[in-house]
Structure 1
């Protein structure tokens, strides 16, 4: 299953904190998005077995003062 993990924070973090996901072999793509009035957003596209695994992997990454959203991606 693929999941898109959006990270909103005061500064770009997504590209910096990808190492744990790379070591686990689940990271498919990563990037920082254009800053908005609400802060900076970034994303990870990961491939894991379940949503619970996605949540657990993201919890292990230190993301202080961040808003994190995890959404399943439909693979056609």
Structure 2
């Protein structure tokens, strides 16, 4: 299953903290988005077994003062 992980933080973190996902072989894409009024956002696109694995992998990454949202991406 594929999941898009959105990270909102005061500084660009998504691209910097992608290494654990890359080493695990689940990272498909990562990048930073254009800053908005709430700060900087970034994303990871990951391929894991289920939502629980997605949550567990993201929890292992130090993301201080961040808002994280995980959404399933339908595969067509």
TM range (shorter): over 0.9
How many residue pairs are counted as aligned between the two chains? Answer: 76
Unmatched tracts of structure 1, length 5 or more: none
Distance (whole Å) between structure 2 residues aligned to residue 20 and residue 4 of structure 1: 16
Distance (whole Å) between structure 2 residues aligned to residue 75 and residue 40 of structure 1: 27
Q: What residue number does 1:47 align with?
A: 47
Tell me whether 1:60 sits opposite 2:57 in the alignment.
no
Distance (whole Å) between structure 2 residues aligned to residue 66 and residue 17 of structure 1: 12
Q: CA deviation at 1:64?
A: 0.2
TM-score (norm 1): 0.99
Q: CA deviation at 1:61?
A: 0.1
Q: What residue number does 2:28 align with?
A: 28
CA offset digits 1:15-47 (Å, max 9, x no partner): 000000000000000000000010000000000
TM-score (norm 2): 0.99
Distance (whole Å) between structure 1 residues aligned to residue 70 and residue 37 of structure 2: 21
Unmatched tracts of structure 2, length 5 or more: none
